[in-house]
Structure 1
Amino acid sequence: MIRRLVLVVLIFFHFLAFSQSDEISLVSWNIQDFGRTKNTGELNEIAEIVRDVDILAIQEVVAGYGGAQAVAKLTDLLNRKGAKWDYVISDPTNSPKYVTERYAIVWKTKNIKIKNRGWLISELDSLVDREPFLLDLYVEGKKFTLVNFHSRPYNKDPESEIIAISNFVIDSLETPMIIAGDFNVEEKMPVFDYLKDNGYKAAVSNAKTTLKRQCDSNDYLNYPIDNIFYSQDIYKTEGKVIDFVRFCEELKRARKLSDHLPVLLKFRINWKAH
């Protein structure tokens, strides 16, 4: 009887360990003006917010001096919190003047591996202001693809960019796919129908992610425009917005980190589909 009980316990912990290691967590975050404007204390606050996830996709990294350095410093701070992290940073986007930026992806190296440093999707250069950044990631040798994107503002036709990216992803890429970023368009809008018709789902729905400059009737949130879309071979276990503000009294301090909240997706991949 005791031997049987021990066996049951061992099997339980085996499957528990498997389920925990099999789950991947990703945060997508437009970190406003991510560069020299962020001091060490603010970078450490950002690191504390994301320390428990596996992958961080950052939009709005400064293209000039200070952007790459801020990503490196954030990674160094994360490395001091109990896990080993690495990062890649894109080339500056080929964009109109004052629109150029970089993307960054930071990840824990224990379970996530890479075989290249990623690239800006040049095929979309003429169709979008800031071409997306694509990185292939590997878990136990199996590949999935992350596309990191920051669209043009809501009043400058981000819809046409979303259509172009949707067409490219669906027509050109066959691995399990995640599209993370600041879309400047709400998830419920028809422009996302092509993705949804092809099996894509959103991490969050109608979840506000941008911060007002000041509280209005105890409300500091504006628009639900940041999200993570994932292909049908990916199973969501959790999706939410990480609200690091919480109280109106903290809004001014919080906005020193960013005017956007991060979006979290926890997921598993159905590798048998490939």
Structure 2
Amino acid sequence: MLKKLAFLILIVFHCVVLGQHKEIKLLSWNIKDFGRTKNSEELNEIAEIVRDADILAIQEVVAGYGGAQAVAKLADILNRKGAKWDYVISDPTNSPKYITERYAIVWKTNNIKIKNRGWLVSELDSLVDREPFLLDLYVEGNKFTLINFHSRPYNKDPESEIIALSNFIIDSLETPLIIAGDFNVDEKIPVFDFLKDNGFKAAISNAKTTLKRKCDGTDYLNHPIDNIFYSQDIYKTEGKTIDFVKFCDELEDARKLSDHLPVLLRFKIN
């Protein structure tokens, strides 16, 4: 009886402590050709989609002129919508010709703090086409690490990159840890088993995240390849896609923003 009572007290204490932790909303979004192709109106539309998040991890920021400027403009627009935002932009990835990109992470400064500006994971340079970008963030003094990653296309062996990234994470990094990105493969395939066997979970499952070029009746969604993986000391309260298309006749305009949907992870740190 005493053991049962002690166990119940422990559960209640854990729930109370967890309930006191700040809830954070993280969006991961491959924003296609994020650079000079996005005009002020489109940047404002993107800002409206992401404004309720606390953190935005962007893949496919243009490496040349226009990419960093687009991130700065987006942050400026967000700053005029009621909250203060800051951002970091990675160096260009050390990639084969024509596939070099930058990553960006944008966040609300009232909820999130940083102590460094992040870095590309050079240890993976020879194993992936685009090295992931790593940034340590702090919520109420609690540190977690965010990795932003864009793997190769599905027909160019993204699986070997995911294996290399998974090995690096498990061997070299501490948790709490979140991996956000476009993996170009479904989270259900065996290549993710190593992460899952080590306590990582996917924010979404069986959720298509890319947009077709044309709407087939009412179906404009294509492949389930974008996701957010989180370690076991992250407590998920919600995971979903943000469907900013909604109707077939909006697909053409939606694709001007991106051909991917954002993925949301709402979480607390245990």
Tell me the TM-score normalized by structure 1: 0.91
The equivalent of 2:214 in structure 1 is: 214
Alignment deviations for residues 58-113 of structure 1 (CA, whole Å, 9 cap, x no partner)? 00000000000000000000000000000000000000000100000000000100
SS of the equivalent of 1:208 reads coil
Give the equivalent residue in structure 2 for 1:261.
Answer: 261
> Within 2, Cα distance between the matches of 1:185 and 1:108?
30
1:166-181 equivalent positions in 2, closer than 5 A: 166-181=166-181
Q: What residue in structure 2 maps to residue 160 of structure 1? A: 160
Match of 1:250 in 2: 250
Unpaired stretches in structure 1, ≥5 consecutive residues:
1-14
Deviation, 1:19, is 4.8
3-state secondary structure, aligned to 1:256: helix
Structure 2 gaps, min length 5: 1-14
Deviation at 1:217, TM superposition (A): 2.4
Residues 1:111 and 2:106 are matched in the alignment: no
Letter of the 1:265 counterpart: L
Would the alpha carbon gap of residues 238 and 62 (structure 1) be closer, same or farther in structure 2, given more than 3 Å must change? same
For residue 113 of structure 2, give the secondary structure of its aligned residue in structure 1.
coil
How far apart are 1:124 and its partner, in Å? 0.2
Q: Which runs of 4+ in 1 moved over 2 A?
A: 18-21
- Identify the residue that residue 6 of structure 2 maps to in structure 1: none
- Matching of residues 60-79 of structure 1 within 5 Å: 60-79=60-79
Name the counterpart of 2:39.
39
Report the equivalent of 1:228: 228
Distance in 1 (alpha carbons) for counterparts of 2:239 and 2:110:
23
Identity of counterpart residues, as a percentage? 85
Q: Deviations over 1:133-152 (max 9, x none)?
A: 00000112221000000000
Which whole-Å CA distance do the structure 2 matches of 1:252 and 1:131 have between them? 32
Tell me the SS of whatever aligns to 1:138.
strand
SS in structure 2 of the partner of residue 164 of structure 1: helix
Q: Which residue matches 1:6?
A: none
C-alpha contact 2:21 2:268 (8 A) present in aligned 1? no
Aligned-partner Cα distance in 1 for 2:264–2:139: 19
State the Cα deviation string for residues 207-252 of structure 1 (Å, max 9, x = none): 0000000011221000000000000000100000000000000000
Q: In the alignment, what sits opposite 1:123?
A: 123
CA RMSD of aligned residues (A): 1.4
* Number of residue pairs matched by the alignment: 255
Amino acid at match of 1:29: W
Following the alignment from structure 2 to structure 1, what is the Cα–Cα distance between the partners of residues 225 and 142? Answer: 31
